[in-house]
Chain A
Amino acid sequence: MRNTWFFIRKESLESLRSYHLLIIAIVFIIFGIEGPLMAKLTPDILKMASSSSFTIKMPDPTSIDAWQQYYKNMTQIGIFVLVVIFSGTVSGEVSRGTLVNLVTKGLSRYSIIIAKYFVAYMQWCFAILITFLINWAYTAYYFPDNKTPNVWSGMSLLIIFGLMFVAVTIFGSTLSNSNYMGFLTAVVVFIILTLLNLFKEFKHYNPIALVTDNMSLIKGTKQIDTIMPAIWITIVSSIVIIYLAILILNKKRL
């Protein structure tokens, strides 16, 4: 357990020195500002685009537009940026041979996976939260309405989804020595889950609900109870996936 902690510190230093943390901070602050900005600008842009002879009556933007932009950015680009960053975390070390020294010194292989998972997940949470807080502050300033009462519940689903999505990326990264395998695995899993959503019976259990139902949750049109099964499946499957990743690394030649 002590060694897991030492390796967590190594992973954190790596994230800092390899600029990963810097990229995450800047990218996700940009996303945070972009949500309210797009919500505010859209009517103006449309006005400019239409000819002056027509005056389109645009509804004023609300907090819903700002949050919609946030979830669009996060679930279509944001989480994939993160997955790209985490993609080579195991494969890179295995292909370069940097683990040999440490493993012969008594570092357990499960410590490697758990530490990498933990640090990657912390970065995931940092990214989600920083965007959320910025978006929240601007939204409260520009759109002080009460159309989005449950802002926290939508965001917390992204946090929970990360448990599984980061696990899938780490798992993919242990599969091969290619630095893109983690990313590919995550994308394939995402596509499969999206396809599964076509079957109505699966919807309650499908983890993908955690990145598709956010808006209905924060508007209050959907209650969190309805997707509780999907949340539990997400949490349980992350544990299983991380366990599998450890089994694979145990068998792997370093």
Chain B
Amino acid sequence: MALLELHDVKKSFGDKQVLKGLNFEVPEGSIFGFVGENGAGKTTTMKMILGLETIDSGNILIDGTKVHYGNSNINREIEYLPDVPEYYGYMNPTEYLTLCGQLTGIPKRDLPNKIVKMLKTVDLPINKRRIHGFSRGMKQRLGIAQALLNSPRLLICDEPTSALDPIGRSEFLSLLASLKGKTTIIFSTHILNDVERISDRVGILHDGILKANDSLDNLKQQYAKSQIIFEFESNALAQRANQIIGPKSILKQRKVILNYEDDYHTNAESALKLLLKNHLVPISMKSQETSLEDIFMEVTS
């Protein structure tokens, strides 16, 4: 069953219609990568799911309950990690997490242990140092801690990896991946690598609607654009090779790109045979699989 459903959700800011009827569902336990250009409406969509933004028309249902603006009754099961989390700088992390835990209704006796465990998980020091001296990365990690403290059913992360260094990013992604099955996660990003690494579903938001919404494998099949790239020593050689291999290839300076369908083996073999028969020996040859980037480019172009 879908934990989150959006039905024909529309939203305008002034004259500009940002969302033109958004429809999608996120099944319970999945990790949903929400991709789109800057300004496509990802943050707006997330804020509407959280009840922090008004909905012009349409419905958002969480576990079958309609979301109302400003209403936080169902919010206890949802946690949010904003792109730039803001805290009370005069508190230390333990104090802040205590406030968060109290508000989400974690029993008093469980709270101190939970907080210590969570601070260790996100690798923040457990001392009296106040938040206002924290770096962006530390604030981001505190953001993860506050979001995961209550083991939410639905976790919504807005560009969670943008402030982290490569190591922090990798750790964060593993942390998200480890929640798979227990927590439904929606996370927006423009770093497509992150999505490929952990998502089982991808939604591509473009032009106010969800242009694609499927599992990564299905998308790859749907937008399959398998290629073999041959590289030659000179432009002249590449040009000859391009003529020989035939209509399905494209010439790009010293490279010849062959688009194919079906099986790699048969296609590569026949192409190579043709080339060798004409004494054209490529200096490199590689097979390129469809990446999310290709799919993204194709969907949004």
Give the B-binding residues of A (Cβ under 8 A): 2-3, 6, 10, 13-14, 17-18, 96-98, 100-109, 250-251, 253-254
Q: A103: which of B72, B79, B91 is its contact (CB, 8 Å)?
A: B72
| Per-residue contact bits, chain B 78-107, to A (CB 8 Å; 1 contact, 0 not) | 111010111110110001000110111100
**B99/A102 in contact, CB under 8 A:** yes
**A97/B52 in contact, CB under 8 A:** no
CA distance A123 to B298 in the complex (A): 61
Q: Provide a sorted-by-A list of 15 A–B residue pairs whose CB atoms are within 8 angstroms.
A: A6-B103, A10-B88, A13-B91, A97-B84, A98-B86, A100-B82, A100-B86, A101-B82, A101-B100, A105-B75, A105-B76, A105-B103, A106-B72, A106-B103, A106-B104
B146: interface (CB < 8 Å): yes
What's the minimum C-beta distance from B3 to chain A, rounded to whole angstroms? 16
CA distance A68 to B82 in the complex (A): 54
B221: interface (CB < 8 Å): no
What's the minimum C-beta distance from B250 to chain A, rounded to whole angstroms? 49
What's the minimum C-beta distance from B80 to chain A, rounded to whole angstroms? 4
B38: interface (CB < 8 Å): no
| Per-residue contact bits, chain B 228-254, to A (CB 8 Å; 1 contact, 0 not) | 000000000000000000000000000
> With A103-B72, A250-B70 in contact, is A6–B99 under 8 Å at CB?
yes
Interface of A is mostly: helix
> With A106-B73, A253-B53 in contact, is A100–B95 under 8 Å at CB?
no
**B99/A18 in contact, CB under 8 A:** no
What's the minimum C-beta distance from A207 to chain B, rounded to whole angstroms? 31
Cβ-Cβ contact count across A and B, 8 Å cutoff: 73
Please indicate the chain A residues that have their CB under 8 angstroms from the CB of B84 in the complex: 97
Q: How large is the interface on B (under 10, 10 to 19, 20 to 34, 35 or more residues)?
A: 20 to 34
The A-contacting residues of B in range 254-295, CB under 8 angstroms, are: none
What's the minimum C-beta distance from B110 to chain A, rounded to whole angstroms? 16
CA distance A17 to B70 in the complex (A): 30
Please indicate the chain A residues that have their CB under 8 angstroms from the CB of B86 in the complex: 96-98, 100-101
CA distance A17 to B102 in the complex (A): 20
CA distance A104 to B48 in the complex (A): 11
> With A100-B82, A250-B70 in contact, is A14–B90 under 8 Å at CB?
yes
CA distance A6 to B87 in the complex (A): 16
CA distance A106 to B103 in the complex (A): 6
**A109/B70 in contact, CB under 8 A:** yes
CA distance A2 to B53 in the complex (A): 25
Please indicate the chain A residues that have their CB under 8 angstroms from the CB of B82 in the complex: 97, 100-101
B50: interface (CB < 8 Å): yes
**A104/B50 in contact, CB under 8 A:** yes
The A-contacting residues of B in range 98-122, CB under 8 angstroms, are: 99-100, 102-105
**B103/A107 in contact, CB under 8 A:** yes
Please indicate the chain B residues that have their CB under 8 angstroms from the CB of A107 in the complex: 72, 103
CA distance A98 to B53 in the complex (A): 16
Which of B72, B85, B91, B105 has the largest number of chain A CB atoms within 10 A? B72
**B104/A105 in contact, CB under 8 A:** yes
Q: A104: which of B52, B87, B105 is its contact (CB, 8 Å)?
A: B52
Please indicate the chain B residues that have their CB under 8 angstroms from the CB of A254 in the complex: 52
The A-contacting residues of B in range 170-188, CB under 8 angstroms, are: none
Please indicate the chain B residues that have their CB under 8 angstroms from the CB of A13 in the complex: 90-91, 95
CA distance A7 to B78 in the complex (A): 20
Closest to A103 in B: B72
CA distance A97 to B143 in the complex (A): 13
Closest to A5 in B: B102
Closest to A17 in B: B90
Q: A106: which of B52, B75, B88, B146 is its contact (CB, 8 Å)?
A: B75
Please indicate the chain A residues that have their CB under 8 angstroms from the CB of B105 in the complex: 2, 106
Q: B80: which of A3, A96, A101, A108 is its contact (CB, 8 Å)?
A: A101
Please indicate the chain B residues that have their CB under 8 angstroms from the CB of A101 in the complex: 80, 82, 85-87, 100, 146
CA distance A6 to B79 in the complex (A): 19
What's the minimum C-beta distance from A122 to chain B, rounded to whole angstroms? 19
CA distance A102 to B76 in the complex (A): 10
What's the minimum C-beta distance from A49 to chain B, rounded to whole angstroms? 48
Q: B90: which of A18, A100, A104, A109 is its contact (CB, 8 Å)?
A: A18
CA distance A3 to B105 in the complex (A): 9
CA distance A250 to B87 in the complex (A): 21
What's the minimum C-beta distance from B65 to chain A, rounded to whole angstroms? 14
> With A18-B90, A107-B72 in contact, is A102–B100 under 8 Å at CB?
yes
Please indicate the chain A residues that have their CB under 8 angstroms from the CB of B76 in the complex: 105-106
Please indicate the chain A residues that have their CB under 8 angstroms from the CB of B87 in the complex: 98, 101
What's the minimum C-beta distance from B84 to chain A, rounded to whole angstroms? 8
Please indicate the chain B residues that have their CB under 8 angstroms from the CB of A104 in the complex: 50-52, 72, 75, 78-80
**B72/A108 in contact, CB under 8 A:** yes
Closest to B76 in A: A106
